[in-house]
Amino acid sequence: MASLEEEVVGDIWCNFEAYKNLVIMCDRFGSRFAFTEEEKLARDFIEKKFEEYGLENVRVEPFKYFGWKRGKASLEVLEPFEKKIPVISLVLSPPTPKEGLEGEVVYLGSGSPDEFKAKKDEIEGKIVLCSSAASPDGKRYHRRTKYGYAVEFGAIGFIFMNHNPGKLPPTGSLRPAYRMAGEIPAIGISMEDGEFIIRNMKGRRLRVRMYNESQIVPDATSWNVVGEIVGSKYPDDIVVLGGHYDGHDISQGALDNCSGVVSIMEVARTLAKHKGSFKRTIRFIAFGAEELGVTGSTCYVDQHKDEIPRFNMMINVDGGGRFIRQNFEVHGPEELVPYLQKIADEIGYPMKVKTTLSTASDHWPFYLEGVPAASLESVPDPMLEPLVRSMGRGWGHTPADTVDKVDPRALKEASLVLSQFLIRIANEEEFPIKHTEKKKILKYLEERGVAEQLRIQKKWHPESIR
C-alpha cells in the first residue's frame, strides 16, 4: 500500500491543475494588481478553488492600505538638447504638478548607501538617477532603500534604471502601503535609455522635465484569501504556507508570483484529500498587495496578533515554482537550517538549505514577530545560480514577466517538494524549532545594518506590526 507521501507526490506529478490555474489567472485576470478589477477576479477564483479542493474555514479577510492608480508618465531631456524618453511610473509615486517637474539629474550609480552618502551635498533639489544593479561591493540594496535616501537627502524626483538589457523599464513600490505612499515623483527607465542619459551628462549639466499623472488612493481595500486543513491532534498549532497572488500592473506577473501561489493551491488541493492525516493545522494564505511594500501579510499578522504564539512555522513561496530546481532559504532562526536540510536529505531531494536576510517578501512580518520562517525559491540549474542572482529580478517587475517563462514541470516540482516537507512538519509530535525573542531579532538587525535601511524605507516600526 502506498504511503501518504507517495500518494500525494504521485497525485501532483500526474495532475495538470497547477498550470491550468496559472494560465487562467494570468491570461484571464492579467496582473491581479492591487486596486484593480483583476485583483477581485483572482481573489474570488482562489476562494472558489480553496472551497472546491475541500479546505476548511475558507474565508476572505479585508485590510486597508494606501492604494494607487497608474497614470501617464513621460520624461523629456531639456538641456543640453531636447529628446523624449519612454518611462513608466513607479508604484505609489505621487503625481507631478500639471506643468511637470523640472530639474537637473544627478547620477548615483547603483544607489547604494555609500554612493548616496558620498554625493549627499549634490542631491538636494535635483532628480536622482540610479540603477537596479548590485553595489560595487556586490551587495544588493532594495529599490525602496534607494528611493528612501533620495527623499532623505532632499531630491525632488527619482529615476530608477533597469540594469538588465531589453528596453524594459522596471516598476516597483516606493513605500510600505500599509502606512504611507511616496513623497516625491518617481519613474522607471530601461537600461538602454538610462545609459543614454548617463553618456550625455558627462562633463555637462543635463536637465529634464518629468510628468507623472498617477494617483494616490487613501483607504483602499485589498484581501487575503485563507483556507485550512485542521490538525487532528494539535489543531491550535499552525503551520502557515503563504505567498502573494498580486503582480505588477504592467505584466501578467507569471513568475512573480503567480507561479508561487498556484503551487500553494496545488499543495492545498492534494493535501486536503487526506484530512485527518496531519497533527497540526496547515493554513494556506494567498496574500494581497505584496507588491506594495509587503502590505497584505503585514496586515494579516497585525490582524492575528493573538495567534502569533501558535504559528509553529511560516513557509513563504515567492519564487518557488518559477524554475525547475527548488531551494529553501531560512530567514530565522539558524536552527531551522539543519532541520530543513535533514528533511531534504530524507526525501532524497538535492537542495542545499541556506540562510538569507531578506526583508521584501511575505515572510518578513512573521519573522519580525519571532516566528520560524523560510522561503521556497528556485533556479533553472545550480550551475546557473550565480548568473541568475546577478540578474536580480530578471524579467520580474517588467512587461516580460509572462506565462511562457514558466516551466510547467517546475510547478509540479515546487508542489511536491512543499507537500513532502509539510507532511513531515505538520506531523511532528513536538515542533523542534522555537520562536525567537523580538528584542533579539531587533538587536541582530541593528548589528547587521538592516535597521538603518528599514528606517530609510519607513519600514522600521518595532513598537507595532504595521
pLDDT in tens, 175-201: 999 999 999 999 999 999 999 999 999
Res. 389: pLDDT tops 60? no
Neighbouring C-beta atoms of residue 213, cutoff 10 Å: 14
Which among 213, 236, 266 is the end of a domain? 213
458 lies in a domain? no
pLDDT band at 286 (very low <50, low <70, confident <90, very high): very high
pTM summary value: 0.95
Task: Choose the weakest-confidence range: 92-96, 158-162, 353-357.
Answer: 353-357
Angle at 264 between CA 263 and CA 266, to 5 degrees: 65
Query: What letter would DSSP give residue 93?
Result: P
pLDDT band at 379 (very low <50, low <70, confident <90, very high): confident
CB 332 within 8 A of CB 367: yes
**Average confidence (pLDDT) over 233-250:** 97
pLDDT at residue 398, rounded to an integer: 82
More confident residue, 395 or 68: 68
Same domain, 118 and 232: no
Res. 458: pLDDT tops 90? yes
477581485: which residue's cell? Answer: 40
461 lies in a domain? no
Give the domain range for residue 202: 71-213
Give the rounded percent of residues in the chain with a pLDDT score beyond 70: 97
Angle at 201 between CA 83 and CA 76, to 5 degrees: 25
Same domain, 329 and 199: no
Same domain, 154 and 16: no
pLDDT at residue 385, rounded to an integer: 56
pLDDT band at 123 (very low <50, low <70, confident <90, very high): very high
Q: Which three cell numbers stand for residue 451?
A: 535597521
Same domain, 46 and 140: no
Total number of domains constituting the chain: 2
Same domain, 64 and 76: no
**Average confidence (pLDDT) over 84-94:** 97
Task: Choose the weakest-confidence range: 136-140, 208-212, 306-310.
Answer: 136-140
Same domain, 354 and 371: yes
How far is Cα 235 from Cα 253, in angstroms, rounded to an integer?
A: 35
Same domain, 206 and 261: no
| Beta carbons within 8 Å of 431's beta carbon, 6+ residues apart | 237, 280, 312, 313, 425
Q: Which three cell numbers stand for residue 51?
A: 472551497
Which among 165, 197, 213 is the end of a domain? 213
Same domain, 44 and 131: no
Task: Choose the weakest-confidence range: 46-50, 53-57, 133-137, 274-278.
Answer: 133-137
